[in-house]
Amino acid sequence: DDRTGDVHPADAHDLIRVRGARENNLQDVSLDLPKRRLTVFTGVSGSGKSSLVFGTIAAESQRMINETYSSFVQGFMPTLARPDVDSLDGLTTAIIVDQERMGANVRSTVGTITDAGAHLRTLFSKLAEPHIGGPGAYSFNVPSVSGSGAITVQRGDRTIAEKASYTRVGGMCPRCEGMGQVTDLDLAELYDEDKSLADGALKVPGYTADGWYVKLFTASGFFPADKPIASFTKRQLHDFLYKEQVKVKIDGANMTYEGLIPKIQKSMLSKDRDAMQPHIRAFVDRAVTFITCPECEGTRLAEHARTSRIDGISIADASAMPITDLADWVRRLREQNSSRGVAPLLENLSTLLDSFVMIGLGYLALDRPSSTLSGGESQRTRMIRHLGSALTDVTYVFDEPTIGLHPHDIANMNRLLLELRDKGNTVLVVEHKPEAIAIADHVVDLGPRAGAHGGQIQYEGDLVGLRASDTLTGQHLDRTVQLKEQVRERTGALEIRGATRHNLRDVSVDIPLGVLTVVTGVAGSGKSSLVHGSMPKDAGVIVVDQAPIRGSRRSNPATYTGLLEPIRKAFAKANGVKPALFSNNSEGACAACKGAGVIYTELGFMETVSTPCEECEGKRFQPAVLGYHLGGKDIAEVLAMSVAEAREFFSSGEAKVPAAARLLGHMDDVGLGYLTIGQPLTTLSGGERQRLKLATHMGDKGGIYVLDEPTTGLHLADVEALLGLLDSLVDSGKTVIVIEHHQAVMAHADRIIDMGPGAGQHGGTVVFEGTPAQLVAERAGLTGEALAQYVGA
């Protein structure tokens, strides 16, 4: 099979050629993708788009890049599994820009993950004047172009040469080491002061009364181990908590004693949160609070760097400004310095900041911790890093880049994607929104449905052809919806009064109960701040968001939803053995991978890599456990079923388990019928996580559901199913509040609350409140315009 579609054979070298792809549900897919063009991948959720784009094309590119490392480096890296595909030709380096939230490294900010922070520091090192009374020489810790060191700028009349390395001192606040925060421990979580140490006062994991540490504490003689801690003298308490390292003798051996707090700091807090064992992590989450560094007040900078200014503005001021304002300020500096050496730097910085504004992120500040960005915001921030890149002939892979964007902002996002293409790159985009599909040079539609019913190419070609095709996507592309004739009446109201969180400007609004409310507004207008941060405390809200689900790497939909419980019991009963055998975190688990099915390799210099466990071949259980069956299937075979298959399997016959069938029904109802029940949670997309959370809360007694862009990851056809689901929730007496940009959802609302008018400090007010019909009739704001267009009014 060597078809080249409608591409002229002479251009064949300008194609990415995929032959026989079979990752996940892909059914021996072969296709050609034009290079240096923008290709959009469409199809219902679960049809196989990610398996093709991320799991096959990007994965193979990444694997081949790894092979270019020296054999020394490769020695530290696991061998990535080759994707299940016959052949792949014409690949270029793939860069994945997806919605993975950025890690919790507190040093990382919007400024540091783009070049903006470094540019700003260079700018300040060149133009800033020391503050009166400040030291004469200072450094902004600017890495040199090669990244190999730092340059130090001397000013004023001192010229003592000061060499500052990038990671030490220099411009960084010495107290918090550039984190902007210091840790504070909640003593009540460390010990119970009414007990003695011998009585088990310590609540720190591993510090049991008969354990090693307590023995050391007792032997130290600095305080009485048999008296309640509350009775310690000041001196004793100090020694217990803070004493520096000293030698003590226990049973004739020399040991080192140090106070509880430095001990915990070193043994627990110095580790990356993700690398901690779950019980340690849970303890740390309880006991540690972060407070703003008292020395630098969160600016992360040493005093001299903090106080020097350009036109009265310090680098901390500049980093705290909304980027829109910072861009204006830099533009003014450019005019004032057009003939000086800093002109190119100012121009670069200006262009970079303008792209933030263009992409709908102008409301962010450079000092915003990247860990607080939403999935959509973090994808767009990372996109900025690549816009300025000098690389060409790269394959950029995006996962729904329009997530979190108001229809009004999509045009700008489109422009940036086209710019990337026009610089000579291949751009592959998974998308659902018609406005985003509209810019495709080439469309690949997968389907017809999800999971085993998908995985085939339904259409390849241009947009005209897609519209004319009988694919689900083609049929839905130009479909508009009608506004509802009648909206529901509210049964009460949640009163928000004087909300001021983040950018909210003293917002008072009633959120109606018993109806479907959609909260709209451009990105950064304050929707989340209102809905997540301002609800009355006693409202009993069930938040169903896209945030990562806490849990171990062994977690999967079956464990997370509680589905595995009744299944384990049924297996145990049918075989006359213990239920625990069928749990992948117990004795029945494969010893090599501890029930994960994959082996994780942590690498300092790149992302953690997983490879299938060779011992159990990914089945997670010991061979003996796989000898037990229920309805003819072993536990690994059950975990490999899709939700829809499992629902049928547990509904009747020998394997009838009503409790399992009911939970699976909820999962099917939220549109996850295609999901494999044993698929690791870490591989789910944000949209899938949200729908899984929704499924687990379907039977809840609670009354108020808050959802954050639930259409993420959904095809237009899936959106119709979602609307039906939201309707059934409301009709069963619940209140549903949804943050959305999708016009079909807006049109379906009983009530709309529109935040704006702009983003950040230009937003934060309720600009419209009423029914969708009123919004359209008044053409109120950007949202009114967008909805009016959509319903053809």
Residues that bind ligand ADP (CB under 6 A): 24-25, 43, 45-51, 363-364, 368, 372, 450-451, 502-503, 521, 523-529, 674-676, 679, 683, 755, 760
439 binds, among ligand ADP, Zn ion, none (CB under 5 to 8 A by kind): none
Residue 755 corresponds to which tokens in the numbers above?
């935040």
- 328: contact with Zn ion by CB under 5 A: no
Pick what 595 binds: ligand ADP, Zn ion, none; C-beta below 5 to 8 Å, kind-dependent: none
523 binds, among Zn ion, ligand ADP, none (CB under 5 to 8 A by kind): ligand ADP
Considering the complex, state which of residue 173 and residue 225 has its C-beta at the smaller distance from Zn ion: 173
Query: H or E stretch including 478?
Result: none
Considering only CA atoms, which of 710, 98, 48 is closest in space to residue 401?
98
The Cα 130–Cα 320 span in angstroms is 20
Part of the chain binding Zn ion (CB under 5 A), chosen from 157-165, 459-467, 586-594, 720-728? 586-594
SS3 content of the chain, % helix, strand, coil (to 5): 40, 20, 40
In SS3 terms, 248-303 reads as EEECCEEEEECCHHHHHHHHHHCCCHHHCCHHHHHHHHHHEEEEECCCCCCCCECH
- 180, containing H or E segment: none
Residue 192 or 785 with smaller CB distance to ligand ADP: 785
Binding segment toward Zn ion, per CB under 5 A, in 275-283, 306-314, 605-613, 740-748: 605-613
Is 616 a binding residue for Zn ion by CB under 5 A? The answer is yes
Q: How far is the CB of 393 from ligand ADP (least distance, A)?
A: 26
Q: Which does 535 bind (CB under 5 to 8 A by kind): ligand ADP, Zn ion, none?
A: none
What phi, psi does 6 have (nearest 5°)?
-95, 15
Residue 296 interacts with Zn ion (CB under 5 A)? yes
Smallest distance, ligand ADP to C-beta of residue 768, A: 14
Q: Return d(Cα 69, Cα 226) in angstroms, integer.
A: 59
Query: Binding of Zn ion at residue 598 (CB under 5 A)?
Result: no
CB-wise, 54 or 396, nearer to ligand ADP?
54
* 190, interface contact from Zn ion, ligand ADP, none, CB < 5-8 Å by kind: none
- The continuous run of DSSP H or E covering 317 comes out as helix 315-320
Strand segments (E) across 523-567: 541-544
CB atoms inside a 10 Å sphere around CB 273:
14
Closest to ligand ADP by CB, 227 or 502:
502
The residue type of 329 is W
Question: Concatenated DSSP letters for 207-239?
Answer: --TTSHHHHHHHHH-SS-TTSBGGG--HHHHHH
Which entry of ligand ADP, Zn ion, none binds 502, CB below 5 to 8 A by partner kind? ligand ADP
Answer with the entry of ligand ADP, Zn ion, none that 528 interacts with (C-beta below 5 to 8 A by kind).
ligand ADP
One of 264, 383, 509, 590 touching Zn ion (CB under 5 A): 590
From the CB of 290, what's the least distance to ligand ADP, in Å? 13
Q: How many CA atoms lie within 13 A of 576 on its CB side?
A: 0
Q: Write down the least CB distance from residue 174 to ligand ADP, Å.
A: 25
Segment interacting with Zn ion (CB under 5 A) among 287-295, 389-397, 718-726, 747-755: 287-295
Contact (CB, 8 A) for 446 and 454: yes
Q: How far out from the chain centre does Cα 46 lie?
A: 20
Q: Does residue 613 interact with Zn ion by CB under 5 A? A: yes
Nearer residue to ligand ADP within complex by CB, 355 or 525: 525
> 651-710: which residues touch Zn ion (CB under 5 A)?
none
User: Residues 541, 706: contact at Cβ < 8 Å?
Assistant: yes
Helix (H), strand (E) counts: the chain: 30, 27
Q: Which does 674 bind (CB under 5 to 8 A by kind): Zn ion, ligand ADP, none?
A: ligand ADP
Does 615 sit near Zn ion (CB under 5 A)?
yes
Residue 176 touches Zn ion, criterion: CB under 5 A: yes
Please list, in sequence order, all residues whose beta carbon lies within 8 angstroms of the beta carbon of residue 75, skipping any fewer than 6 positions away: none
Which range binds Zn ion by CB under 5 A, 190-198, 248-256, 380-388, 593-601? Answer: 593-601
616 interacts with, out of ligand ADP, Zn ion, none, CB within 5 to 8 A per kind: Zn ion
Q: Is 192 among the residues that bind Zn ion (CB under 5 A)?
A: no
Q: Which two tokens stand for residue 242?
A: 């803070």
Which positions touch Zn ion (CB under 5 A)? 173, 175-176, 293, 295-296, 590, 592-593, 613, 615-616
